[in-house]
């Protein structure tokens, strides 16, 4: 072994404690960095798996109606896996109760497609041939028709036509009263045996407005033919998913393709899709966290190396005088880094992976609940090679930075310094001024303390820098987790009710319903309830009524400057009791809002939506001023946009509504935000019923909703069902929203666990760091203290001096630390607004905590380090010069 390395190793072994502390620092740092990368890659893998479980393990789907394209695609070398689904045939669902979904929709899946598409059996088994069929439980829960395993069914199958066009699942049912009537042309009959019941197919495959319940049978893939108007959907998994867009381009250009669907979710989460905001935000956040960790670790590890270099200063000078080159000296420090890194980094990566693995394991139930238990996907540790490489690289860079700065200092050590044994810290020769005020306020002790700081800039700087970094890390870390929580709360809509019950096709609620409602509200577990019906109107607002940003956006939709712009009005007509409660909570005048001559509404002007253009969630409002105002509302739904007759709009009879107040809160059952370009109006249903105003003539949806707040929704829901059944009412449209809300709250819990875990770890690192710096400094100043004591400073005076020093340290650190951390907070805010529209705020609480902690940590470290020194004999310390 090279002699320089040998010396390095020997001195590492000699200073066991410091070496171990440094290695622990490296382990901590590498572990945290690995935890971040491993968690990031696990989350990403989980989301990909989740999307696969939800939508299926495919990248792109081509809807084909001719064998030419089919024959080419299945031969294409870029394709890894092919699943086939022959579809298009409908049959009437006899006895169905949902008029919007009158059909069964036959999907014939080949063997591969049964695997690829997200089919989840509730009971029974998958179909094995073309005579067996799998039925979605939706047929019973929504369509009201029950099939049991073993049932024989005979279906008269045919294609849906409208005006000569073939319709598919993307075309909702059309009714006669809408002018045109679609037609099912029966082409044949098939017999099936029911062999299984499965969950409803996901939205992507069976849309919410799809008119047919999917039923699934086996397709004989050996014999694919294209009858006229038949359609085969080819679900493809590509060998290189990154090329999926090129592939689509290529195929669509060459062949006649009926439709193309990308598996957007899977592609996005794999980081392939064009709109990969998700990954951007994920990587952005991971990078911020890693930079924070790096800064913290560098300041700790740097300190260790710095101390080591100081101690080895004499060695370096000696070596230099016997002819060691500067390069050899630098290499020696870097070798020290290498030794420490090669022990610390592998251990750190190992413990980081272990740590995050255990955390994920302990939180697995929360994670499963987070996305609901609809899909059997677990968040498990997924350590990608890239994540380990990134972690190792970041750790190595951290150590190199930490070692390089002191190494440069080692290089500068001249042999002369070593030979002469000059002090590590050079005092500035400049005159150091302290104001007379300082002496007056703090006495001679304060004066010495301040002079000490000013004179020993370098030593003072290292302590202040450690403190500064700690303040910065603490505040930015807490800001980070606060923004994260806020951001998540913003993305996931929270509901203000737990259970909903929908009553279709009723213009007026029957006495039965009202009675049932009352009974349900009287149940023990129910805290609150409301009945709501909606309508959807429009209103035109003038330029000066609306926010300029809203107006300019509307101009992009084709309005001319100066025009009135049309907005959507979503009206919630709530039951009288709920409304009265609502306005009294808001502190509004009852008489004004309950006056049936002039309809007065409470408006909610808060839009929250996902902007495709900006690729993020936006919060906005439409009205410039939230003052009382009167608007005229219209029902635009009667306008026939195909006719160019502009007088249609003028001929509409509008109705006047007073917006009596704008509110931020809503009654139970009303959504807290409105969609883009819309505002919410909340009115009293009883006022609407009794009014003579022209509002009466505007249309209402013939659907009523009941909303309930419940203590334990899952338990009370059975009681509700019983009340409804006893009243002879349908129970199919009860939903337990609480389950879904629970999922969202789980996300926030998980985030908080990580955020606070992170804050705690970071605080530990930084406290260790400050402690380390201060105690080293105190140690280096032993002679100085002994000297001050020898000239007769009293113990209390000495303590006073040290306390002042602490105060000056803390003040200086905070002076730099707080502004810097506000800047970092702003950067975090900028990164978050990439994905979510949130307001900038300063983490005031954390700032106060950090101010308090800075002084606490400084005082405690100082006192602890001094305890040892106080016991020392003055003379011994003074004599102890040449060691």
Query: Given the rule CB under 8 A, which residues bind another protein?
Result: 2-4, 6-7, 10-11, 14, 314-315, 318-328, 414-416, 418-419, 429, 882
Rounded to the nearest whole angstrom, what is the least distance from the CB of residue 322 to another protein in the complex?
5
- Cβ closest to another protein, residue 240 vs residue 414: 414
- Cβ closest to another protein, residue 315 vs residue 781: 315
Rounded to the nearest whole angstrom, what is the least distance from the CB of residue 402 to another protein in the complex?
23
Query: How far is residue 183's CA from residue 169's CA, in Å, rounded to a whole number?
Result: 14
Rounded to the nearest whole angstrom, what is the least distance from the CB of residue 5 to another protein in the complex?
11
- Cβ closest to another protein, residue 10 vs residue 722: 10
- Cβ closest to another protein, residue 191 vs residue 327: 327
- Cβ closest to another protein, residue 33 vs residue 333: 333
Rounded to the nearest whole angstrom, what is the least distance from the CB of residue 343 to another protein in the complex?
19
Rounded to the nearest whole angstrom, what is the least distance from the CB of residue 342 to another protein in the complex?
21
Rounded to the nearest whole angstrom, what is the least distance from the CB of residue 427 to another protein in the complex?
14
Rounded to the nearest whole angstrom, what is the least distance from the CB of residue 785 to another protein in the complex?
25
Helix ranges, 259-383 (H): 264-269, 277-311, 313-321, 326-362, 364-370
- Cβ closest to another protein, residue 65 vs residue 320: 320
- Cβ closest to another protein, residue 421 vs residue 665: 421
Indicate the helix (H) or strand (E) that contains 449.
helix 436-455
β-pairing verdict for 655-662 and 600-604: parallel
β-pairing verdict for 231-238 and 600-604: unpaired
- Cβ closest to another protein, residue 423 vs residue 444: 423
Rounded to the nearest whole angstrom, what is the least distance from the CB of residue 421 to another protein in the complex?
8
Q: Which DSSP letter does residue 596 get?
A: S
- Cβ closest to another protein, residue 20 vs residue 260: 20
Rounded to the nearest whole angstrom, what is the least distance from the CB of residue 416 to another protein in the complex?
5
Contact residues for 259 (Cβ-Cβ < 8 A; gap 6+): 62, 63
Query: How far is residue 340's CA from residue 329's CA, in Å, rounded to a whole number?
Result: 17
- Cβ closest to another protein, residue 36 vs residue 324: 324
Rounded to the nearest whole angstrom, what is the least distance from the CB of residue 49 to another protein in the complex?
55
- Cβ closest to another protein, residue 329 vs residue 469: 329
Mapped to the 3 state alphabet, what secondary structure does 709-763 carry? EECCHHHHHHHHHHHHHHCCCCCCCEEEHHHHHHHHHHHHHHHHHHHHHHHHHHH
Query: How far is residue 267's CA from residue 396's CA, in Å, rounded to a whole number?
Result: 33
Q: What DSSP line would sit under 226-283, residue for residue? A: --TT-EEEEEEEESSGGGHHHHHHHHHHHS--SEEEE-HHHHHHTT-SS--HHHHHHH
Q: Can you say whether the dihedral through the CA atoms of 476, 482, 483, 484 is positive or negative? A: positive
Rounded to the nearest whole angstrom, what is the least distance from the CB of residue 329 to another protein in the complex?
9
- Cβ closest to another protein, residue 230 vs residue 311: 311
Rounded to the nearest whole angstrom, what is the least distance from the CB of residue 434 to another protein in the complex?
23
- Cβ closest to another protein, residue 111 vs residue 326: 326
**405 exposure class (CB count in 10 Å sphere: 0-12, 13-18, 19+):** middle
**842 exposure class (CB count in 10 Å sphere: 0-12, 13-18, 19+):** middle
Q: What is the CA radius of gyration of the chain?
A: 36
Contact residues for 513 (Cβ-Cβ < 8 A; gap 6+): 503, 506, 704, 727, 729
Instruction: Considering only the C-alpha atoms of the chain, give the largest distance between any 2 of them, rounded to a whole number of Å.
Output: 112
Q: Which DSSP letter does residue 674 get?
A: B
Rounded to the nearest whole angstrom, what is the least distance from the CB of residue 458 to another protein in the complex?
20
Q: What DSSP line would sit under 824-882, residue for residue? A: HHHHHHHHHHTTB-------HHHHHHHHHHHHHHHHHHHHHHHHHHHTS-HHHHHHTT-
- Cβ closest to another protein, residue 318 vs residue 729: 318
Separation in Å, CA 512 to CA 508, 528, 725, 726, 727: 11, 19, 11, 10, 6
Query: How far is residue 542's CA from residue 559's CA, in Å, rounded to a whole number?
Result: 12
User: How many other C-beta atoms can be found within 10 angstroms of the C-beta atom of residue 878?
Assistant: 14
Rounded to the nearest whole angstrom, what is the least distance from the CB of residue 408 to another protein in the complex?
14
**510 exposure class (CB count in 10 Å sphere: 0-12, 13-18, 19+):** middle
Indicate the helix (H) or strand (E) that contains 183.
strand 183-198
- Cβ closest to another protein, residue 186 vs residue 339: 339
Rounded to the nearest whole angstrom, what is the least distance from the CB of residue 327 to another protein in the complex?
6
Indicate the helix (H) or strand (E) that contains 79.
strand 79-92
């Amino acid at each position: 072994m090279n002699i320089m390395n040998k010396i390095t190793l020997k001195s590492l072994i000699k200073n066991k404690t410091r070496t171990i502390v440094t290695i622990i620092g490296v382990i901590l740092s590498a572990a945290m960095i690995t935890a971040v990368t491993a968690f990031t890659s696990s989350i990403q893998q989980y989301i990909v798996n989740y999307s696969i479980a939800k939508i299926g393990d495919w990248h792109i789907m081509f809807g084909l109606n001719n064998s030419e394209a089919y024959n080419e695609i299945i031969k294409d070398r870029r394709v890894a896996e092919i699943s086939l689904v022959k579809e298009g045939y409908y049959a009437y669902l006899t006895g169905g109760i949902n008029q919007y979904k009158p059909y069964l929709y036959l999907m014939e899946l080949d063997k591969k497609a049964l695997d690829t598409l997200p089919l989840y059996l509730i009971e029974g088994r998958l179909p094995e041939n073309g005579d067996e069929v799998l039925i979605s439980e939706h047929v019973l829960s929504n369509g009201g028709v029950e099939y049991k395993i073993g049932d024989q069914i005979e279906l008269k199958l045919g294609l849906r036509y409208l005006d000569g066009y073939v319709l598919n699942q993307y075309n909702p049912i059309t009714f006669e009263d809408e002018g045109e009537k679609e037609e099912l042309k029966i082409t044949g009959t098939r017999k099936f045996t029911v062999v299984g019941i499965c969950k409803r197919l996901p939205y992507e495959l069976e849309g919410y407005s799809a008119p047919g319940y999917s039923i699934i049978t086996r397709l004989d893939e050996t014999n694919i033919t294209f009858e006229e108007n038949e359609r085969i959907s080819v679900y493809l998994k590509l060998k290189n998913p990154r090329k999926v867009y090129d592939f689509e381009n290529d195929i669509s250009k060459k062949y006649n393709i009926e439709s193309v669907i990308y598996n957007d979710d899977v592609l996005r989460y794999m980081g392939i899709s064009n709109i990969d905001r998700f990954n951007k935000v994920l990587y952005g956040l991971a990078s911020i966290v890693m930079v924070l960790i790096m800064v913290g670790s560098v300041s700790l590890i740097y300190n260790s190396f710095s101390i080591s270099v100081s101690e080895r200063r004499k060695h370096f000078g000696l070596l230099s005088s016997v002819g060691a080159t500067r390069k050899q000296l630098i290499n020696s420090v870097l070798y020290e880094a290498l030794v420490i890194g090669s022990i610390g980094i592998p251990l750190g990566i190992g413990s980081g992976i272990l740590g995050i693995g255990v955390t994920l394991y302990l939180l697995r139930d929360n994670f499963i609940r987070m996305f609901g238990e609809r899909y059997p996907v677990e968040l498990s540790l997924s350590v990608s090679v890239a994540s380990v490489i990134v972690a190792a690289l970041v750790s190595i860079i951290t150590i190199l930075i930490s070692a390089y700065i002191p190494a440069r200092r080692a290089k500068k050590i001249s042999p002369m310094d070593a030979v002469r044994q000059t002090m590590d810290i050079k005092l500035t020769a400049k005159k150091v001024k302290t104001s007379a005020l300082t002496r007056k306020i703090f006495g001679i002790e304060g004066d010495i303390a301040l002079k000490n700081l000013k004179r020993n800039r370098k030593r003072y700087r290292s302590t202040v820098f450690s403190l500064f970094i700690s303040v910065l890390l603490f505040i930015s870390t807490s800001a980070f987790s606060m923004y994260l929580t806020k951001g998540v709360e913003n993305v996931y809509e929270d509901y203000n009710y737990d259970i909903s019950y929908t009553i279709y096709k009723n213009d007026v609620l029957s006495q039965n319903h009202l009675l049932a409602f009352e009974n349900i509200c009287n149940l023990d577990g129910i805290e609150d309830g409301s009945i709501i019906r909606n309508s959807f109107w429009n209103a035109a607002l003038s330029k000066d009524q609306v926010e300029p940003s809203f107006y300019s956006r509307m101009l992009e939709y084709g309005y001319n400057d100066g025009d009135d712009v049309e907005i959507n009005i979503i009206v919630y007509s709530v039951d009288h009791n709920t409304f009265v409660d609502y306005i009294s909570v808001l502190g509004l005048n009852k008489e004004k809002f309950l006056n049936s001559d002039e309809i007065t509404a409470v408006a909610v002007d808060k839009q929250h939506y996902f902007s495709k253009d900006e690729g993020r969630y936006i919060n906005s409002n439409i009205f410039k001023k939230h003052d009382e105002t009167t608007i005229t509302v219209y029902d635009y739904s009667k306008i026939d946009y195909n006719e160019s007759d502009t007088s249609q709009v003028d001929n509409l009879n509008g109705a006047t509504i007073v917006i009596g107040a704008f509110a931020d809160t809503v009654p139970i059952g009303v959504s807290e935000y409105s969609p883009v370009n819309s505002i919410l109006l909340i009115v009293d249903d009883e006022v609407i019923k009794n009014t003579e105003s022209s509002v009466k003539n505007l249309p209402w949806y013939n659907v009523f909703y009941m909303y309930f707040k419940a203590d334990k929704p899952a338990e009370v829901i059975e009681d509700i069902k019983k009340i409804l059944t006893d009243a002879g009412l349908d129970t199919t449209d009860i939903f337990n929203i609480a389950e879904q809300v629970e999922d969202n709250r789980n996300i926030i819990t998980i985030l908080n666990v990580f955020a606070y875990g992170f804050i705690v770890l970071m605080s530990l690192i930084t406290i260790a760091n400050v402690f380390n710096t201060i105690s080293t400094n105190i140690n280096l100043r032993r002679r100085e203290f002994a000297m001050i004591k020898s000239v007769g400073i009293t113990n209390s005076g000495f303590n006073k001096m040290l306390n002042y020093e602490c105060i000056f340290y803390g003040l200086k650190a905070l002076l730099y630390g707080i502004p810097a951390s506000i800047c970092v907070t702003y950067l975090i805010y900028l990164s978050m607004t990439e994905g979510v529209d949130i307001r900038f705020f300063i983490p005031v609480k954390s700032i106060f905590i950090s101010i308090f902690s800075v002084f606490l940590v400084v005082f405690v470290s100082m006192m602890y380090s001094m305890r040892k020194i106080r016991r020392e004999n003055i003379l011994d310390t003074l004599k102890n010069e040449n060691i």
